[in-house]
Structure 1
Amino acid sequence: YGNAPVSWFQKQIRREETILYDHLSKEMNELNLIRCQRIPKRPGADWRDLPEEKVKLSTGQIVDLIPWCLPNTADRHNQWKGLFGRLDWQGNFPTSITDPQPMGKVGMCFHPDQDRIVTVRECARSQGFPDSYKFCGSIQNKHRQIGNAVPPPLAIALGKKLKEAVDAKK
């Protein structure tokens, strides 16, 4: 881990683990990485904070930094709020999804202060999975497992209430 837990949540989620598994981030293509690097490192920053300019890719191709479709369809789509968005250290994940990507409908998938998509483990923690929980398959499959899962704390709460209801009928 590198250092001791700094919060109650971190202590609870780590439990007795000494190794951090699945701290893996999806790769981005070159253009999306450049976009990510240009998104300000502040809460709520998204594509609307990108400068209107062209960038030169390693292939020599020159392209718009802002995807054409975003400003041209923004009025019909709530300004595409959150696309290419950074998460907030003090906030919550807007939702856990099966495929975090910058142009996804949720969109807010960039780490608050690093130029990358949030990792499998960060998404798992957002759902309450302890660090001891291991996911299987590719990064994509792991994200799908997390996004489709019932969060463990919710499953525990539901289980307790169901048990109470069953016990009350006895």
Structure 2
Amino acid sequence: MDTIGDLPKVENGASKLTLEYGGEPVSWFQKKIRGNMMALNDHISKEMNELNLIKCQHIPKRPGCDWHDLPDEKVKLSNGQMADLIPWCLPNTAKRHNQWKGLYGRLDWEGSFPTSVTDPQPMGKVGMCFHPEQDRIITVRECARSQGFPDRYEFAGNIQSKHRQNGNAVPPPLAYALGRKLKEAVDAKCQVAGVTAAAP
């Protein structure tokens, strides 16, 4: 995942709005997306509850791993309660829902991001939201980079608002490409109209 490989490590629930990059970009994309930014904004992560964090920690750090790779065991939470690692509803409804593929899933360094969503969460529509190596949900900045937003772009509001803005956005590279093609079409139509109007 060339897109996020240069970003610094952060923890579950990271909330510091500005960070140092901690290293140089190593690819063309990373250089382009950073621009001349000296500090990184919005590299913040939603905080998972204790049980989801434990589940995340038990998902192997390999491509394609998701809830199917959780051990079938109970864990003791900090409040003394015991909880199943595998959510009870998943195995019982998997046949009707494409095996719930990707829920509690890790991104793959060699793969691509799934569909951009407004609320990345392990049991969401696109449950593949865990970082490939770190035990956390992907950050606002990582999601923004997946959409092609340059690092200079800042989102407004709290973390939920930032994810919503990113998930609802048309990716800037797509908007640019569409704009260019529309301009070409309008220019061509104007040229034809100008030539036709000038003819007797």
1:20 maps onto 2:43 in alignment:
no
**Pick aligned residue for 2:141 from 92, 100, 121:** 121
| Equivalent-residue separation in structure 1 for 2:60 and 2:96 (angstroms) | 25
**Pick aligned residue for 1:153 from 173, 176, 180:** 173
| Equivalent-residue separation in structure 2 for 1:96 and 1:130 (angstroms) | 16
Query: Who is 1:40 aligned against?
Result: 60
> 1:66-85 maps to which residues of 2 (within 5 A)?
66-85=86-105
Letter in 2 for 1:64: D
Letter in 1 for 2:186: V
| Equivalent-residue separation in structure 2 for 1:169 and 1:6 (angstroms) | 43
- Cα shift at 1:90: 1.1
Q: CA RMSD of the aligned region, Å? A: 0.4
| Equivalent-residue separation in structure 1 for 2:28 and 2:63 (angstroms) | 23
After TM superposition, the score normalised by the length of structure 2 is 0.84
- Cα shift at 1:21: 0.2
**Pick aligned residue for 1:100 from 98, 120, 136:** 120
Equivalenced residue count is 170
**Pick aligned residue for 2:82 from 41, 53, 62:** 62
| Equivalent-residue separation in structure 1 for 2:159 and 2:39 (angstroms) | 18
| Equivalent-residue separation in structure 2 for 1:141 and 1:70 (angstroms) | 29
- Cα shift at 1:105: 1.3
Letter in 2 for 1:62: M
| Equivalent-residue separation in structure 2 for 1:87 and 1:116 (angstroms) | 11
List structure 1 runs of 4+ shifted beyond 4 angstroms. none
Question: Residues 143-163 of structure 1: CA distance to partner in whole angstroms, max 9, x if unpaired?
Answer: 000000000000000000000
After TM superposition, the score normalised by the length of structure 1 is 0.99
Query: Who is 1:162 aligned against?
Result: 182
Query: Who is 1:88 aligned against?
Result: 108
| Equivalent-residue separation in structure 2 for 1:68 and 1:9 (angstroms) | 41
Identity of aligned residues (%): 80
| Equivalent-residue separation in structure 1 for 2:147 and 2:110 (angstroms) | 16
| Equivalent-residue separation in structure 1 for 2:71 and 2:152 (angstroms) | 42
- Cα shift at 1:114: 0.3
Q: Which runs of no fewer than 5 residues in structure 2 stay unpaired?
A: 1-20, 191-200
Find the residue that maps to 2:129 and give its secondary structure. Answer: strand
| Equivalent-residue separation in structure 2 for 1:42 and 1:78 (angstroms) | 21
Find the residue that maps to 1:143 and give its secondary structure. Answer: helix
Q: Which runs of no fewer than 5 residues in structure 1 stay unpaired?
A: none
Q: Report which of the two structures shows the higher radius of gyration computed on alpha carbons.
A: 2
Letter in 2 for 1:166: V
Letter in 2 for 1:2: G
| Equivalent-residue separation in structure 1 for 2:119 and 2:148 (angstroms) | 18
